[in-house]
Structure 1
Amino acid sequence: MPKSLLLISRQAPWSGPSAREALDIVLAGGAFDLPIGLLFLDDGVLQLLTAQDARAVQQKDLSANLQALPLFGVEQLFVCADSAAERGVAPDTLALDDVNVLDAAQIAALIDRYDQVITL
């Protein structure tokens, strides 16, 4: 049985390549049926905002990658409630519908459930 992987995405969508790399890793893992989860933490929650204009910073839009997650079997999506609140992101306004909002204790338990954890 393949080991499970939790990827923690902590970077804002346009602060560098980390947000895109995190999504690429998750999509690749999902394509190979790896048990995989994605946690948006810290500025990573900003990736989930709707109506972002990537052209303003001459970047490629990440929304297509986010929408493709379920198509690749990536259904374990999580967002940190504290990170979202600190950045004024209401959980009901996220670009993805099936995101589980977790508090700090739930995040600690989540991390313990996975065999491997990568933070970007």
Structure 2
Amino acid sequence: MSKSMLIITRQAPWSGPAAREALDIALAGGAYDLPIGLLFLDDGVFQLAPNQQPLTLEQKDLSANLQALPLFGVDSLYAAERSLNERGLGDAQLTLPVERLDDAALNLLLDRYDMLVTI
């Protein structure tokens, strides 16, 4: 039986390689049919914002990786409601449908997965 894994991505897409690495892990796990969840937390919620211009910061565009998540079986996408609110991101502004979780729901989510990976 496969163990489930929750990947917690906390970095903005333009702050270095961490955001890309989290997506790469999610896509690789999904390709091997592992039960994967992806939680966008803190500045990680900025990965969900539209119209990013990564080339101005000499970064790679992550939007294709984000859009590929469902194709690889990564359908369990979550975002911390507090992080979204603090950064002024509403549902209409997000590029992917995510389940918004309050603090209590976040704690329950962490208990549902066998392994947690924070990047």
The alignment's TM-score, normalised by the length of structure 2, stands at 0.98
Please name the residue that 1:36 is paired with.
36
Separation in 1, partners of 2:118, 2:92: 25
Measured in 2, the distance between the counterparts of 1:115 and 1:73 equals 18
CA–CA distance in 2 between the matches of 1:74 and 1:85?
24
Provide the secondary structure at the position in 2 that maps to 1:88: coil
1:1-120 aligned within 5 A: 1-96=1-96, 98-120=97-119
Distance 1:71 1:63 in 2: 14
4+ residue stretches of structure 1 with deviation over 4 A? none
After TM superposition, give the deviation of residue 92 of structure 1 in Å: 2.3
CA distance in 1, matches of 2:91, 2:102: 12
The TM-score normalised by the length of structure 1 is 0.97
Letter in 2 for 1:112: D
- Hey, what's the Cα distance between the residues in 2 that align with 1:79 and 1:92? 14
Q: CA RMSD in A?
A: 0.6
Q: 1:88: how far off? A: 0.8
C-alpha displacement of 1:100: 0.5
The unaligned stretches of length 5 or more in structure 1 are none
Give the Cα–Cα distance (whole angstroms) in 2 for the partners of residues 20 and 88 of structure 1. 23
- Between the aligned partners of 2:2 and 2:109, the Cα distance in structure 1 is 18
The number of residue pairs the alignment matches comes to 119
Distance, in Å, in 2 between the alignment partners of 1:112 and 1:62 is 28
- The CA deviation string for residues 35-66 of structure 1, in whole angstroms up to 9 with x for no partner, is 00000000000000000011110111000000
Give, in angstroms, the shift of residue 91 of structure 1.
2.2
How big is the shift at 1:90? 1.0
